[in-house]
Protein backbone atom coordinates (compact mmCIF):
# COMPACT_ATOMS: atom_id res chain seq x y z
CA UNK A 1 0.00 0.00 0.00
CA UNK A 2 1.38 3.37 -0.98
CA UNK A 3 0.75 6.17 1.43
CA UNK A 4 2.02 9.61 2.33
CA UNK A 5 1.52 13.26 1.70
CA UNK A 6 0.32 14.75 -1.55
CA UNK A 7 2.34 14.78 -4.75
CA UNK A 8 4.98 12.28 -3.65
CA UNK A 9 4.58 9.83 -6.53
CA UNK A 10 2.11 7.37 -5.02
CA UNK A 11 -0.03 7.00 -8.13
CA UNK A 12 2.92 6.74 -10.49
CA UNK A 13 4.67 4.14 -8.35
CA UNK A 14 1.47 2.15 -7.76
CA UNK A 15 0.89 1.90 -11.50
CA UNK A 16 4.51 0.93 -12.18
CA UNK A 17 4.56 -1.70 -9.43
CA UNK A 18 1.32 -3.26 -10.69
CA UNK A 19 2.79 -3.47 -14.18
CA UNK A 20 6.06 -4.93 -12.87
CA UNK A 21 4.26 -7.61 -10.83
CA UNK A 22 1.59 -8.18 -13.49
CA UNK A 23 -1.23 -7.46 -11.11
CA UNK A 24 -3.89 -4.82 -10.56
CA UNK A 25 -3.78 -1.64 -8.56
CA UNK A 26 -6.53 0.37 -6.92
CA UNK A 27 -6.46 4.11 -7.63
CA UNK A 28 -6.76 6.69 -4.86
CA UNK A 29 -10.48 6.83 -4.14
CA UNK A 30 -10.46 10.31 -2.59
CA UNK A 31 -9.10 11.59 -5.92
CA UNK A 32 -11.85 9.78 -7.84
CA UNK A 33 -14.44 11.21 -5.46
CA UNK A 34 -12.97 14.71 -5.67
CA UNK A 35 -12.90 14.57 -9.48
CA UNK A 36 -16.60 13.69 -9.50
CA UNK A 37 -17.54 16.27 -6.88
CA UNK A 38 -15.56 19.10 -8.46
CA UNK A 39 -15.48 21.09 -5.21
CA UNK A 40 -13.42 20.98 -2.03
CA UNK A 41 -14.10 18.08 0.28
CA UNK A 42 -15.92 18.52 3.58
CA UNK A 43 -16.29 16.30 6.64
CA UNK A 44 -19.57 14.92 5.31
CA UNK A 45 -17.59 13.36 2.41
CA UNK A 46 -15.36 11.22 4.65
CA UNK A 47 -17.80 8.33 5.02
CA UNK A 48 -18.58 8.20 1.31
CA UNK A 49 -14.86 8.15 0.51
CA UNK A 50 -14.30 5.37 3.06
CA UNK A 51 -17.09 3.28 1.54
CA UNK A 52 -15.59 3.85 -1.93
CA UNK A 53 -12.16 2.74 -0.69
CA UNK A 54 -13.57 -0.50 0.71
CA UNK A 55 -15.66 -1.22 -2.39
CA UNK A 56 -12.75 -0.58 -4.77
CA UNK A 57 -10.41 -2.82 -2.79
CA UNK A 58 -12.95 -5.65 -2.58
CA UNK A 59 -13.73 -5.38 -6.30
CA UNK A 60 -10.02 -5.62 -7.17
CA UNK A 61 -9.10 -8.61 -4.98
CA UNK A 62 -10.43 -11.32 -7.35
CA UNK A 63 -8.54 -9.74 -10.26
CA UNK A 64 -5.21 -9.52 -8.41
CA UNK A 65 -2.34 -11.82 -9.24
CA UNK A 66 -1.46 -12.79 -5.62
CA UNK A 67 -0.57 -9.16 -4.93
CA UNK A 68 -2.83 -6.12 -4.74
CA UNK A 69 -1.27 -2.67 -5.02
CA UNK A 70 -3.21 0.13 -3.34
CA UNK A 71 -2.77 3.83 -4.06
CA UNK A 72 -3.76 4.82 -0.51
CA UNK A 73 -6.28 3.08 1.75
CA UNK A 74 -8.45 3.85 4.77
CA UNK A 75 -5.40 4.93 6.76
CA UNK A 76 -5.09 7.92 4.41
CA UNK A 77 -8.76 8.70 4.92
CA UNK A 78 -8.24 8.68 8.69
CA UNK A 79 -5.11 10.84 8.59
CA UNK A 80 -6.64 13.45 6.30
CA UNK A 81 -9.96 13.47 8.15
CA UNK A 82 -8.23 14.11 11.46
CA UNK A 83 -5.94 16.73 9.90
CA UNK A 84 -8.61 18.73 8.07
CA UNK A 85 -11.63 18.24 10.32
CA UNK A 86 -10.17 17.32 13.71
CA UNK A 87 -12.19 14.10 13.76
CA UNK A 88 -12.87 10.88 11.90
CA UNK A 89 -15.97 8.69 12.03
CA UNK A 90 -15.26 5.87 14.52
CA UNK A 91 -16.30 3.14 12.09
CA UNK A 92 -13.76 4.42 9.53
CA UNK A 93 -10.98 4.30 12.14
CA UNK A 94 -12.02 0.78 13.17
CA UNK A 95 -12.18 -0.40 9.55
CA UNK A 96 -8.72 1.08 8.89
CA UNK A 97 -7.31 -1.00 11.76
CA UNK A 98 -9.10 -4.16 10.60
CA UNK A 99 -8.05 -3.73 6.98
CA UNK A 100 -4.42 -2.81 7.66
CA UNK A 101 -2.16 -3.69 4.73
CA UNK A 102 0.72 -6.15 5.02
CA UNK A 103 3.20 -3.46 3.94
CA UNK A 104 3.03 0.32 3.67
CA UNK A 105 5.38 2.19 1.36
CA UNK A 106 5.49 5.65 2.93
CA UNK A 107 6.44 8.08 0.17
CA UNK A 108 8.86 10.71 1.44
CA UNK A 109 8.19 14.30 0.27
CA UNK A 110 11.69 14.71 -1.16
CA UNK A 111 10.58 14.81 -4.80
CA UNK A 112 9.48 17.93 -6.68
CA UNK A 113 5.93 19.15 -6.19
CA UNK A 114 3.84 18.77 -9.35
CA UNK A 115 0.51 20.58 -9.35
CA UNK A 116 -2.30 18.43 -10.73
CA UNK A 117 -5.20 20.88 -10.74
CA UNK A 118 -6.96 19.30 -7.77
CA UNK A 119 -7.78 20.98 -4.48
CA UNK A 120 -4.52 20.28 -2.68
CA UNK A 121 -2.47 21.53 0.25
CA UNK A 122 0.33 23.87 -0.59
CA UNK A 123 3.73 22.24 -1.23
CA UNK A 124 5.34 23.39 2.01
CA UNK A 125 2.96 21.26 4.13
CA UNK A 126 4.16 17.90 2.81
CA UNK A 127 6.72 17.38 5.62
CA UNK A 128 4.01 18.04 8.21
CA UNK A 129 1.68 15.53 6.53
CA UNK A 130 4.51 13.00 6.19
CA UNK A 131 5.02 13.15 9.96
CA UNK A 132 1.30 12.57 10.53
CA UNK A 133 1.33 9.50 8.27
CA UNK A 134 4.43 8.09 9.99
CA UNK A 135 2.84 8.64 13.41
CA UNK A 136 -0.39 6.89 12.32
CA UNK A 137 1.54 3.92 10.90
CA UNK A 138 3.57 3.57 14.08
CA UNK A 139 0.54 3.95 16.35
CA UNK A 140 -1.25 1.21 14.42
CA UNK A 141 1.73 -1.15 14.51
CA UNK A 142 1.92 -1.23 10.72
CA UNK A 143 4.93 -2.56 8.83
CA UNK A 144 6.23 0.30 6.72
CA UNK A 145 9.23 1.49 4.79
CA UNK A 146 10.05 5.15 4.20
CA UNK A 147 10.58 5.39 0.45
CA UNK A 148 12.84 8.29 -0.48
CA UNK A 149 15.28 9.43 -3.09
CA UNK A 150 15.05 9.70 -6.85
CA UNK A 151 12.54 7.78 -8.91
CA UNK A 152 14.85 4.86 -9.73
CA UNK A 153 15.82 4.50 -6.07
CA UNK A 154 12.15 4.60 -5.05
CA UNK A 155 11.23 1.89 -7.55
CA UNK A 156 14.12 -0.32 -6.45
CA UNK A 157 13.42 0.08 -2.71
CA UNK A 158 9.71 -0.62 -3.22
CA UNK A 159 10.42 -3.75 -5.27
CA UNK A 160 12.93 -5.08 -2.74
CA UNK A 161 10.42 -4.55 0.08
CA UNK A 162 7.62 -6.26 -1.84
CA UNK A 163 9.88 -9.15 -2.86
CA UNK A 164 10.92 -9.63 0.78
CA UNK A 165 7.31 -9.57 1.90
CA UNK A 166 6.29 -12.11 -0.74
CA UNK A 167 9.15 -14.42 0.24
CA UNK A 168 8.25 -14.38 3.95
CA UNK A 169 5.37 -16.36 5.45
CA UNK A 170 2.50 -14.12 6.49
pTM recorded for the entire structure: 0.93
pLDDT of 170 reads 65
CATH code of the domain containing 120: 3.40.50.300
The residue ranges of the chain whose pLDDT is under 50 are: none
Q: Number of structural domains, the chain? A: 1
pLDDT of 117 reads 61
Torsion of CA 16, 158, 138, 6, to 10 degrees: -40
Contact (Cβ atoms closer than 8 angstroms) between residue 14 and residue 60: no
Q: What does the radius of gyration of the chain's CA atoms come to, in whole angstroms?
A: 15
Rounded CA separation 128/11 (Å): 20
Distance of CA 132 to the CA centre of its chain: 13
Phi, psi of 23 (to 5 degrees): -135, -175
Residue of 65, 74, 79, 62 whose CA lies nearest to 28? 74
pLDDT of 112 reads 82
pLDDT of 21 reads 98
Rounded CA separation 10/107 (Å): 7
Q: Give the CA distances from residue 161 to residues 11, 57, 60, 116, in Å, rounded to whole numbers and listed in that order.
A: 18, 21, 22, 28
Enclosing domain of residue 17: 2-167
pLDDT of 74 reads 97
pLDDT of 109 reads 94
> Which residues are paired to 147 by β-bridges?
107
pLDDT of 118 reads 60
Amino acid sequence: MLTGSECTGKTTLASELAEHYRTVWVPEQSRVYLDRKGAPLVYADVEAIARAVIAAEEEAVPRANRLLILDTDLLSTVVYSRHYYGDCPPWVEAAARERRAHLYLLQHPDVPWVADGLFRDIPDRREEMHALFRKALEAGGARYLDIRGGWEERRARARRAIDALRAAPL
